[in-house]
Structure formats: structure tokens, C-alpha cells
A and B are shown apart, each in its own frame.
Chain A
Amino acid sequence: MINQNGNDIGSERGFGRDIDRNLRQPIILSAKNITKSYSQGAGFLPILKGLSVEVTKGESLCIVGSSGAGKSTLLHILGTLDRPDSGQVEFHGENLFEKSEDELAQFRNSKMGFVFQFHHLLAEFTALENVMMPLRISGMKPAEASERAYVSIERVGLAERSHHFPNQLSGGELQRVAIARALVREPEILFADEPTGNLDSQNSLIIQNLFFQLKEERGLTMIAVTHDAQFAGKFSRVLRMTDGQWAKTV
């Protein structure tokens, strides 16, 4: 499927439903001709082969595909956690990879939130301190950061567990803390890399619902990678990747 810029954006489920949104909402994030390869022995292994995608404000986009298709690599590049070999990623029309590493770090802190498969909480910090982390990094004073972090952790239903360390929390609780941390700075885009991949079905459902409740509350743009068909089914748009490219059909 070809988008209005002439780029192959793959087949999309629910595309018709998104047409209206796309027309109403501005493009918040766009990736153009992204390539990425990793060195393997003497040569290079191509992971992304000239991918393009546009995401409108408030959209929920899910990227699915088999393992090794390059989903996480794309998500990392869209989230500026990694740089592409070629191509560009624009946020509100601004080419992000023209920024220095430190500028990108500041940008991530203020505009993006991340939730990973393995929660990636810092073991030495309590749940509350983990949620405070993005605020402290932004320069907020400890007392104010603590107050705001508490509100965020309360929103995910873990107020009473706020002073527990990660090793004292269950898998579902860890992921809820990770969501609270991702959203505490009120980012414009939330990236989720297989957020339910490590959870049992009950906890997975709790997390899925939480994601969409928060998305609706805050009008977030959400981009996620998942293998979970049930989770993918809740997104407004689903793109499938195969071998570093968009698949022709879902």
C-alpha cells in the first residue's frame, strides 16, 4: 500500500478508520527510507530496508511481525534510542537525527515515554524513585518530582507499593510502574516494546487496558511492537513487518 507521499507503508488493518484521523490530525512523527544493518562477521546484516511510516497525533500504531523482522530496531530508531544508517525521522517536521546526542537525550526526556518488555526499572531505586527519574533528569527539584511521581504511580494503582524496590514487585506491578515512569513527564508519544510479552494473560489484560485508558485520558500518540494479537487488535492501525520491510498483507 502506498501512502500520499508515494512511500510503501505496507498493508494496514483498519486503514479506512484511520483515514478520517489522518485527515483531521497533523503528522507528529514520520520516518523516511530508514535503513539499518548490523555487522556480522566480515559483512553486514541488513535489518531495516528503506522503511517509511507516518504517524498522526493521537494515533495508536501497532507494529507486528515475526521475531527478527526488525520491529524493535524500528521502534528504537523512531524513539531516537538508536540511529539509522540512512533515512530520517521527523518530529513535527524537525529532523531528529540532526540533533546532538545530548540534545536527543533532552528531547527524549521531554517528548517521549518508553515501556519495554523487561520493565527496565533500576534495581537500586524504589518504585517511586524510578518514576521520579525522568523528572529529576529534567532538573525538577526532588520534593516536586516526588509529588508528581506519586500522582503518576497512584494513577496506575500502586500508591501503596511506591516504596517497594523492583525485586519486591510482581511482573504486572513492575510493568505498571514502568508505565507510570513513561508517562510522568506527560510525553507526546509513548513507545512500547512488547510491554505484555513477559506477563501472564491476566496481567497482560490489565496492562493493555491501562495503556488504552491512559492514551484516551491524555490524547497520547502510541506506537507499540507486540506479538500479542489480542493487544494488537486494540490499536487503530496495525502494520506488519517482514524481513525489514512492510508486509504486503496482514
Chain B
Amino acid sequence: MIQWLKQSTTLWIATKMLFSNRRKILSTTGWISLVGLILGVASLVVSMAVISGFESTLQKNISDVSGHIQIYKMNSEPQSTESLIERIKNIEPDIENLSRFFVTEAVLAHKGKLSGVFLQGVDEEKIGEVLNLKSRIKAGDFGLKTTADGLPQILIGKGIAKDFGLKPGDELRLVVPINTDLDVSQFQRRIGHFRVAGVLDLGKYDYDQRWMFTSLHAAQDLAEIGSRYSGFLLKLRHPQSAREASMRLSHNLGHDFRVRDWRDINENLFEAVKIEKVVIFFVIFVIVVAAAFNVASSLYINVVRSYPEIGILKALGVSQKKLARIFSIQGVLLGGLGCTLGLVFGFILCFGFTILENQFSILPASVYKVDRIEVQLRGIDLLSIAVATLLICYLATWAPARKAAQMTAVEGLRHD
């Protein structure tokens, strides 16, 4: 390939004619059209990076708080936890770790305010290996033990902390409905007291507003369910294969279990993001197409200005095919230049976006679900942008290249 590049006559002629400082092929209009291409590509880079970042931030936030897969037991069959774990691990070898959990709805009552919340009881020994809550502590400590005064510790979302004015060390009350043994339609209230150990930044607005974590034992006690639990939270070695793993588990565990992967938890949102990404790509790509045609029009002017050179090259024996290739190469080189500079400019904008995000809260979490996006420059996105841009530049130069190729030698020579 490098050998070909070194020895290619068409590439030699194309580059010399395009970049020689003895000839201003890249006229002012040429540079302006190239700037258009750079801006178009940079816009694509930023939009793709932001959407990819949004998607992966959302995914990370969900899997940090809910694990990669959740398995809910739908009945209380008397199967031992150990044998159930063994069975699950046999079905899905990609499981790195799993932990029991129990989740219930409760009412938080504090300082005269009430709010519905989800209380999740997690296995305090295993939870660090399945969820990623420790790194999300915003205030206080990660603790799920029982304090000296006999109150179980609880971790609360930062939205709850803010709305209720709670801080680490505060005591809070949760009320859960307990149905009576005699009549399932009747509920008794049961009040549990907890000590706030830490405040979590769960990364997702509705999580921060509604989720609390305590030990499995404390949650079971509050709900008076003995040693029963809701199911298992799973961590996979390869999170991207969660969909296949959940399908395998669902198929093999049968109807007594409900299996959800991280994508199921916000399926509509993920689908929307996916569609939005494609739509935005094509909408912004229109800018690139327009810019590519601007580059092509500059190249067209260049072809007209190069009539004498085309005539000389034809007189010296350059074939129509090679001549068309020379101008196509020039188009692709200009496209490549615009694309490269656009990618670099896009990186700079992404970097700027990250700085802005760190300095100011530019994303309202109540609107976008997350209050922070880690912009993500995915290789596949950048490759798609580069390939699409070069392809459109190549296609856009077809007309000028064809015009150059079809000219006779004499037409060019007379033009001088």
C-alpha cells in the first residue's frame, strides 16, 4: 500500500497540483467551503459523542444501581438459595457475581413531608461485587450496618436528601403497608426507623428522587417477610451481552421467574436514544453533504482553471480514466483534510463541553434524566463519520472529474 502510494503517478500529480504553494488551488472560496465541511464534521462528532455519552451514562447509572440483570422470583417456592444460585450460574456462565435483594415501596415521612420511595434491601457482603454504589457516595459513608443505637443504616438518593433536608446521621421513618394474614385486601402500617449513613448520587433523576438502600436483613425485618427476598441482582463479565444472557435465563428458569436486563428497565428511553442517534446523524450529515458539494464546486472551478494543465497531461498521454482519478483523488484529499480537521475540531468541542459541564450544571436532570453526560467518542461513530464524509466528497467530485476527463487535449491547450 505504502509502495503504491509512493509510486502512484495519479496520486503524485493530484497532490502536487492540489497542495503546491505555487498555485492557489485552495482559493478563498475553497477554504470557505472547506471550513463548512470542518464545521459539519465537527457537529457530527459532537452530536454523536453526546448521544453516545448519554446512552452509556444512562446504561452505567442503571447497571450501577440495578445490576446488569435482575431476576425476580414470582412465587415463594421452597427452593434453597444455594441451589437456586447454582442453577442460575449453570445457565449463564458469564455471571461474574450475584446478590440477593428485596425491594418494596414505602412512604418516607420526615419533618411533616411525605413521599413514596423504593426501599431496596441488599446483601451487604455481596453488594459491592454486584452494584457500584460506593463510588456514588456524595456525603457521609457507605454503611449498611446497624448503629450503636440499634437503628439500621440507610443510603438515600441525593434528591430525597435535598427535598427532605436529610443529611448523614439523621434519623428517618419509613412506613410500609403489611397485609394481614386474614384478609389480603387489608393493610396494616409498619414503621421502620433508619439512620442515614450516606447520600448517593445515583446519576439518574428518578433514582435520586425515590431510591433508598439498606441491608437485606433490615428491609426484610421492616416488611416482615422473614428470610424471603425479591430475587437476584447479577453482574456479568460482558455487560453488552446482557440481552442474550437475560433471554437464556428467562427461557431456562421458566415462568416462576421474571428476568430483566438493564436495557429492559428503561427500554423506551434506550430505543428513543437509538432512533434519535440515527436521525440526528442524518440530519447533521445534510450539513456535511452541503459542505461536500461546496468543496466539489471549488474543485469544479479548479478544473476550469486547470484546462491548460489538463490539456498538457492529455497530450503527454494521461488517459481519461487516470485524469478522472486525479481529480477524484483531489476531492477525496480535500474531503480527508476537511474530515481530519473536523474530527480534531470536534474533539476540541467535546473537551470544551466536558469543561463546561464540570463548571456549570448545564443539564437539567428532571428533563434529561441524567444531570451529567460523559461525552463518549466511539470508534465506530468516528469511523462512520469519516467514511460517510469521504464517500460523499468522492461522489461530489464525480462531475468535475468527469468534465476534466472528457475534455480533449486541444481544448485545454487552446485555453492557455
Contact = CB atoms under 8 A, between A and B. Distances in A.
Interface of A: 76, 79, 81-83, 101-102, 105-110, 114, 116, 118, 120-125, 129, 133-134, 136-139, 141-142, 165, 167, 181
Interface in B300-353: 308-309, 311-322
Contacts of B384: none
14 contacts: A81-B410, A82-B410, A83-B408, A105-B314, A108-B317, A109-B317, A114-B315, A116-B413, A120-B312, A120-B315, A122-B16, A124-B16, A137-B316, A137-B317
A102 to B, nearest CB: 4
B22 A110 contact: no
B316 A101 contact: no
Nearest to A106: B317
Contacts of B308: 120
Contacts of B111: none
A161 B355 CA distance: 56
Nearest to B312: A120
Given A76-B410, A137-B318, 6 more contacts: A102-B320, A106-B317, A108-B317, A134-B316, A134-B317, A137-B316
Contacts of A110: 317
B82 interface: no
Given A101-B320, A133-B316, A167-B22, A125 B16 contact: yes
B316 A81 contact: no
Given A122-B309, A124-B17, A101 B319 contact: yes
B319 A105 contact: yes
B315 to A, nearest CB: 5
A240 B413 CA distance: 23
A133 B410 CA distance: 19
B402 to A, nearest CB: 13
B181 interface: no
A85 B408 CA distance: 14
B27 interface: no
A116 B317 CA distance: 15
A120 B17 contact: no
Interface stretch (B4-12, B226-234, B358-366): B4-12
Contacts of A102: 319-321
Given A122-B309, A123-B22, A105 B320 contact: yes
Contacts of B317: 105-110, 134, 137-138
Interface string B1-38: 00000110100100011001011000000000000000
Interface string B384-416: 000000000000000000000000111001001
A134 B13 CA distance: 12
Contacts of A118: 416
Contacts of A120: 308, 311-312, 315, 413, 416
B319 to A, nearest CB: 4
> Counting chain B CB atoms within 10 Å of each CB, which of A76, A122, A123, A141 scores highest?
A122
B316 A108 contact: yes
A38 B19 CA distance: 37
Nearest to B21: A124
A136 B22 contact: no
A110 to B, nearest CB: 7
Nearest to A120: B312
A137 B413 contact: no
Contacts of B7: 141-142
B9 A139 contact: yes
B318 A123 contact: no
